[in-house]
Amino acid sequence: MGRPLPSLNALRAFEAAARLGSFTRAAEELHVTHAAVSRHVRGLEARLGVLLFRRLHKAVVPTEAGRRYQARLAEAFERIVAATEEIAADVRERLTLSVEPGFATRWLVPRLGRFYAEHPEIELDLDPTTRLADFRREPIDLAIRFGPGGWPDLAAVKLADAMAFPVCSPALLEAGPPLARPADLAGHTLIHDESRQWWAAWLEFAGAPEVDAGRGPMLRDASLVLDAAAAGQGIALGDDLLAGDDLAQGRLVSPFPWRQPVGAYWLVRPGRRKPGSAAEAFRDWLLTELGRRS
């Protein structure tokens, strides 16, 4: 008969606290109380006869033994996740994708019919969220992220560079005031998504830093921002992926030629986990779809 192991809850509480350096943050991640994490850790230390943390005034620091134990447990948890996903894949091809809501609404979802037609054996679970996926703790296979790339422990495939530029409705452009140069934006409403710094950076890039980038509504969702622009409520910043269909269909127009590099869209997955056949199929389909733009 094998030796009895510590409880899984105690191991999870310890690993999270050691990784995060905080009982409070571990409690938040595991959706339990601070007291529960502390109780699990104390019980684990008593069972092992080893001090796993040094308790400071406002922090907890893993001991050398605690750091070694956390590293081994982290590997074990990843192997459990991988084994679970592998056995689940034998039953059905299910793929969970985390994606920013604006990208899902403006570009991905309108094209998914082609993916389903090519891969009827794959069931896609779409998780539209602005929160970054935590591959260590969530059943996420792939994620689409916007940014500079270079995330630690992730394998990333660049999907497309993002170039920001103003967009508005044709009716607004026709009604005026005129938009002959970037400085003319001073006479229009600027619509913001998440941060007013995006407009400030574009105006600096286009040579019109005197235009007040702090005015105008903030909608905090890329799809809502573009919908507001298409409805004639002001001028928004878009890129070729998010605004491409609206530009092609004439719902939006781009009044200026200036395109500012602001990052890229990436398909990411855990770097130490081999992608399954469903993830590889989706990656290949995605790159083919993006090739249709050029």
* Res 294: pLDDT: 44
Range of the domain at 35: 8-86
Both 197 and 286 in a single domain? Answer: yes
Q: How many domains does the chain have?
A: 2
Both 281 and 178 in a single domain? Answer: yes
* Res 185: pLDDT: 96
160 domain-assigned: yes
Could you give the angle at which helices 8-20 and 64-91 cross, rounded to 10 degrees? 120
How far is CA 41 from each of CA 33, 52, 66, 75, 110, rounded to the nearest angstrom?
A: 13, 8, 11, 19, 48
- Ordered per-residue pLDDT tens for the chain, 294 residues: 456 788 899 999 999 999 999 999 999 999 999 999 999 999 999 999 999 999 887 788 999 999 999 999 999 988 888 887 777 655 558 889 999 899 999 999 999 999 999 998 899 999 888 787 777 777 888 999 888 888 888 889 999 999 999 999 999 999 989 999 999 999 999 999 988 999 999 999 999 999 999 999 999 889 999 999 999 999 999 999 999 999 999 999 999 999 999 999 999 988 777 778 899 999 999 999 998 654
Both 236 and 275 in a single domain? Answer: yes
Q: Which of 137, 33, 147 is nearest to 23 (CA)?
A: 33
Both 289 and 265 in a single domain? Answer: yes
Query: For position 73, which CATH number holds?
Result: 1.10.10.10
Query: For position 158, which CATH number holds?
Result: 3.40.190.290
* Res 86: pLDDT: 72
Q: Which of 209, 210, 217 is nearest to 192 (CA)?
A: 217
Whole-prediction pTM value?
A: 0.65
| Buried b or exposed e, range 196-221, using 16+ CB within 10 angstroms | bebbbbbbebbebeebebeebeebeb
Instruction: Point out the domain boundary residue: 86, 107, 132.
Output: 86
213 domain-assigned: yes
* Res 4: pLDDT: 72
Instruction: Point out the domain boundary residue: 86, 115, 150.
Output: 86
240 domain-assigned: yes
113 domain-assigned: yes
Both 189 and 166 in a single domain? Answer: yes
